[in-house]
Structure 1
């Protein structure tokens, strides 16, 4: 694939800095939630002193909660160890113009140990890198399809209103409606344009099934680059909304009576320019290879073990409702949107679409989970269940996805597969992270409780 518009070499960046068309460099990585965190550098200082040596960040960034409070109980970083630094090493293959910002470029970093210069194993991008290394016999292509809700309220207004009575940009279900999409074209056209100019090639955008819900799809790429595209996409859309006085949310389930927002992941393995999923074995309407079949078998078998990486928040699990376009049971089918694993394409385009992750997932973790599960299937020749034909929502006999974060944490924390695949240290770290999120919810009082119990109890 050709190099996308908007990506920069260091020489091109030097020229842009000299011509003063780039003045600021964002140097960033994602925390566990998938949020970009990091620093802004003077561009001249970056090209002279930072791009080779990197920079530093406080290691508490991989142990905080969403409110940036240091959380005790981590062995990686804590008060006893003094919350030191880790090394942020720019991956220059990710150097790009941040076209939605004035005279700004961005680079995504790997997180490394200050002393050993090894990848920090608990960092999300490191976790995906580790799984890619295990799958080094293949080139792994992926695409993530993100959905989001748009509101005419600014982020500050939404916060001041406690996120109640927000005004969605649409007032009827606009799935595929061109007219309703035209009304939000100021936002979505800007998103398509800025993403394309920032090294994230765009394919389409469209209205979705919820009021004010949309989807914008970007071109597939190798799986690590796709993770980078995903986080740039989210950052871009949030900052466009901020500039317009609007707001956008990637919550998996914004409201109980609205459709959830998903992150459908398409994946395929390639060798020597050929799709390794393509083959002669007939599986219902699909012809695929042994690699395809075993990869699919591993994905389905280990979904419960890695569910926390697909559905990382309390809210994630509110999305799994029968008849809601979100998958609720573990099965596969061909071009069937009721399936957790929807197989699409034929021949060179044959791929697996995992429909389980929500829009709130960290892409590096979700991609790592899917790749690791599939490769375990290939390694151990795990057969998938028989293709299911029909409405999977109505198939009560099929196993369900975990329905709460607490259930998913328990499976993950005890999973031999997760411990062997990601390492016991990673499982311990993320178990503590997700249990902290669960505990925060358990101690909160919700609107639902007030509505239900204030007068009637």
Structure 2
């Protein structure tokens, strides 16, 4: 029989409501309270998670943070250890924030400032993982296991400048200061193979019901896992390419949307692996030449005071309001630089192919799925929105979302004009999207907007990490080179 947590309080004792404090008086004064890191709502959520743990018999809780690459890292704590972690967080090496996708430390860790001028990242010292109780989930696929997403702080309580969830939170805070909230919808494509690499679907027939039925085991597994996590799953669809599926999530507000993507991707990969499949969010794996995977990010702004969609035009015949039009102008103006966040891998740029349902130019269209940004809705439609189709499914959701909002807000502030919509998204003289990760990083480094919005040290950190990834790619002898030259020359 599971006993109650020693520092849990029943609702009758103040364990519920907006002012809940799920600790005994003797346990006060921990890191979280000392630095004022939780709201009343988070304290109430912490009280609720204790009750859920008691009711569900949860014995292990994973404390995770999203790293620079959009990958979850963290520790699994026992039930008994969680109470202390909720008061004081738990520590992890700061060097995790200084590694590229291979796990190589890119920066001189054992020097003052770690080569970035950020003292807290030097010498592989610790950062503190501070759980966000509002993100608590019980994992349907892992017995007696819960999950908490964490924010990062230095041991002195200061935010870690390169914590991507915090970066997104800061941009969202600026948005709130203007009276807006971001409403975000997600279409996330991915590939599922058998664990031995064998194909799961033949491909070539978009939305073919019988082909989807052939992978019904995967569909059922994902439905159970994602709805079991209380994610707003709307559909699981068969895409055009071999082994390619898509999940769509109902719109969420702000940080909750990015959190949902982090958990959704992790759930899909873990559940598939446990049942003999391999799910990958790599955009263009071998065999996917006809249909790379993308991440279509739907976005609009809601007026906080009225709850009205700020993108819905008042005049018939217009696709967007003035606010929406200027936001779109900002997305286009900064698209080349923002590509480094929307498509952060070497592989993702091989998706930008003409006539592929992926964009290759910086254009927008009215309900045009070949354009980089698709305007959907119009007069009288409260769901009017912009859909950026340039992202890859492996993108860090916090950086992807933050880059879109920063660009859009700049467009609103400067009354940027997007120009007329395209009717020929793959033709004409429109500026092309960056052809490579290197080109996108050059554009990011040169665009002052993101240094202003995120901090110059953040851009230097990110560009350095990704240039290391690019250089390792250039140094690798590829199968193409072997085939092209080995026998011929």
Q: Which moved more, 1:332-341 or 1:96-105?
A: 96-105
Residue 196 of structure 1 and its aligned partner are, at CA, apart by 1.2
SS in 1 for 2:130: strand
The one-character-per-residue Cα deviations of 1:171-204 (angstroms, maximum 9, x if unpaired) are 2423111111111111122212211111212101
Hey, what does 1:176 align to over in structure 2?
207
Hey, what does 1:31 align to over in structure 2?
67
Hey, what does 1:276 align to over in structure 2?
310
Matched, 1:185 2:216: yes
Change (3 A) 1:132 1:78: closer
Change (3 A) 1:84 1:352: same
Hey, what does 2:7 align to over in structure 1?
none
The one of 353, 368, 386 aligned to 2:402: 368
CA distance in 2, matches of 1:22, 1:325: 44
Change (3 A) 1:64 1:229: same
SS in 2 for 1:270: strand
Matched, 1:392 2:395: no
Residue 78 of structure 1 and its aligned partner are, at CA, apart by 9.5
Q: Which runs of 5+ in 1 are unaligned?
A: 1-7, 158-165
Change (3 A) 1:80 1:209: closer
Question: Is the CA contact 1:148–1:359 (under 8 Å) kept in the aligned structure 2?
Answer: yes
The one-character-per-residue Cα deviations of 1:22-58 (angstroms, maximum 9, x if unpaired) are 1111100111110100000112321x21113211111
Question: Is the CA contact 2:403–2:450 (under 8 Å) kept in the aligned structure 1?
Answer: no
Hey, what does 1:56 align to over in structure 2?
91
Question: Is the CA contact 1:59–1:77 (under 8 Å) kept in the aligned structure 2?
Answer: no
Question: Is the CA contact 2:49–2:133 (under 8 Å) kept in the aligned structure 1?
Answer: no
CA distance in 2, matches of 1:172, 1:188: 16
Hey, what does 2:163 align to over in structure 1?
123
CA distance in 2, matches of 1:173, 1:52: 53
The one of 210, 220, 240 aligned to 2:251: 220
The one-character-per-residue Cα deviations of 1:273-300 (angstroms, maximum 9, x if unpaired) are 1101112256xx5343211111011011
SS in 2 for 1:38: strand
CA distance in 2, matches of 1:110, 1:143: 23
SS in 1 for 2:353: coil
TM-score (norm 2): 0.85
Hey, what does 1:4 align to over in structure 2?
none
The one of 175, 191, 214 aligned to 1:149: 191
Matched, 1:300 2:300: no
Aligned residues: 433
SS in 1 for 2:204: coil
Matched, 1:85 2:119: no
Q: Which runs of 5+ in 2 are unaligned?
A: 1-43, 109-114
Tell me how large the CA RMSD over aligned residues is. Answer: 1.8
CA distance in 2, matches of 1:80, 1:41: 24
The one of 447, 453, 456 aligned to 1:421: 453
TM-score (norm 1): 0.91
Question: Is the CA contact 1:281–1:287 (under 8 Å) kept in the aligned structure 2?
Answer: no
CA distance in 2, matches of 1:14, 1:128: 28
SS in 2 for 1:259: coil
SS in 2 for 1:130: helix
Change (3 A) 1:122 1:291: same
Hey, what does 2:58 align to over in structure 1?
22
Residue 345 of structure 1 and its aligned partner are, at CA, apart by 2.2
Residue 131 of structure 1 and its aligned partner are, at CA, apart by 0.8
| Structure number with bigger Rg | 2
Question: Is the CA contact 1:329–1:339 (under 8 Å) kept in the aligned structure 2?
Answer: yes
Hey, what does 1:252 align to over in structure 2?
283
Hey, what does 2:155 align to over in structure 1?
114
SS in 2 for 1:121: coil
CA distance in 2, matches of 1:28, 1:76: 26
CA distance in 2, matches of 1:225, 1:399: 33
Hey, what does 2:6 align to over in structure 1?
none
Q: Which moved more, 1:397-406 or 1:252-261?
A: 252-261
Question: Is the CA contact 1:17–1:44 (under 8 Å) kept in the aligned structure 2?
Answer: no
CA distance in 2, matches of 1:349, 1:437: 39
Hey, what does 2:466 align to over in structure 1?
434
SS in 2 for 1:242: helix
Hey, what does 2:435 align to over in structure 1?
403
Hey, what does 2:383 align to over in structure 1?
349
Residue 435 of structure 1 and its aligned partner are, at CA, apart by 0.7
Map 1:206-217 to 2 at 5 A: 206-217=237-248
